Amino acid sequence: MKIASLVVAWMLIGAAICAEPRVNGERLNAHLEALAAFGKTARGGVARLAYSEEDRQARDYIASLMKGAGLQVSIDAAGNIVGRRNGRDPHLPPLVLGSHIDSVPDGGKYDGNVGSLGAIEVAQTLSEQGLTLRHPLEVIIFQNEEGGLIGSTALLGELTEILLDQRSRSGKTIREGVVFLGGDPAALEKVKRQRGSIASYLELHIEQGGILDAEKLDIGVVEGIVGIKWWEVTIDGFANHAGTTPMNQRQDALLAAARFIESVNRIVRSVPGRHVGTVGRIQALPGAPNVIPGRVVASLELRDLEETKIDMLFQKIEAEARAIAKESGTTFGFAPLHVNAPAPTDPRVREAIEKNVRALGLTSKVMPSGAGHDAQNMSRLGPAGMIFVPSARGISHSPLEFSRPSDITNGANVLLRTVIALDRGLSR
């Protein structure tokens, strides 16, 4: 053997040793297509409400993929799907990867699904490459993320009786939904985890905004998740015959609601910042063309990285509602429905993500998440981080949601390498 051949052989051996594993992007994207069949809509999107039949069928598919990836699969008492893989050191807390597969009523096929399948792909890659981490690895598919991060709320021990009795968009109460998914609402104490009980939490997700797409960047490193507050707004007027009640004698709840919706938009836009405010749901009762609406029930949502700003906006909106009520002969009631506190990610996790983005030759940007994620709950149990991949034209919660297969593969590779890095790094 010549010296040159020896050098080449040595270089090949070195490359093999130094090469980090890569996920199978083709398989990952094929799984994403297959998952999209559950709850597929005519417009090419996904309607897979938590606790629906579509949700249950998709979860069965997910559980089969997890088993195929060498994970031990179980349904916890809250109805989350948990896949576990032992580490070399049984005394270490788990590294947790997670996301969700439930959707909004007319959503897309990427939101939640990319992170769920990305996490499973990471487990499968580790399994195929015979890599055993020091920490146990857990993949958690949280139930009912879109209805208020229900699955991860249970891990905090905060899935209260009041929440359990709330009706979800499927028509079932959350309590009924937990049972429907194979959980046990009476045994929720078992799923509660303590702060420090996880080594780290990582979630891969589509950005759902248009920043990465517009700036042609590969990866978003999430600095924090905005706080979200929801209210149920009830406007009471007086239902009456639309033909016989003169215009000046009406107490039209829908007219008051229209003025309210307009004022929410005006107030939110009048204050500088990245906060947003939305009325997304509305019902007028009794709801007939020939009856003046006597009651309107609508939703109000406000989001910002600062909770104080949310509260300030709400106070302005409430004051305006009082003025509308007065001049329209109606009353407004605001019932707080749902609160997520703003959640910063862990700087060490962000650093690990950024280092591996660079090692993969990818570009990235540190950015907030305008959307809520289970990561914000998990950040209260241990150091958490999120990896964003671009959303084409920033479209999400829509059948037109799209992320390129290559971007999804990049995201899963960043997830894989970051898990391996955190497995090493968190030992220090």
Site for a second copy in 87-106 (CB under 8 A): 104-106
By CB under 8 A, tell whether 343 contacts a second copy. no
Under rule CB under 8 A, how many of the chain's residues touch a second copy?
73
Query: Which whole-number Å values give the CA distances from 321 to 233, 262, 269, 286, in the listed order?
Result: 10, 11, 17, 22
Q: What angle do CA 107, 406, 203 make, to 5 degrees?
A: 60
Q: Which is nearer to a second copy, 76 or 207 (CB)?
A: 207
Binding residue (CB under 8 A) for a second copy from 119, 123, 198, 255 = 255
Binding residue (CB under 8 A) for a second copy from 289, 327, 361, 428 = 289
User: 141-200: which residues touch a second copy (CB under 8 A)?
Assistant: 146, 169
Residues in CB range of 411: below 8 A, 6 or more apart: 114, 118, 204, 219, 387, 388, 389
User: 303-322: which residues touch a second copy (CB under 8 A)?
Assistant: 303
By CB under 8 A, tell whether 292 contacts a second copy. yes
Q: Which is nearer to a second copy, 168 or 356 (CB)?
A: 168
**Amino acid residing at 185:** P
By CB under 8 A, tell whether 291 contacts a second copy. yes
User: 189-248: which residues touch a second copy (CB under 8 A)?
Assistant: 207-210, 226, 228, 230, 238-248
Q: Which is nearer to a second copy, 121 or 207 (CB)?
A: 207
User: 390-419: which residues touch a second copy (CB under 8 A)?
Assistant: 391, 394-398
By CB under 8 A, tell whether 333 contacts a second copy. no
By CB under 8 A, tell whether 277 contacts a second copy. yes
The least distance separating a second copy from the CB of residue 334, rounded to whole angstroms, comes to 13
Q: Which is nearer to a second copy, 286 or 347 (CB)?
A: 286
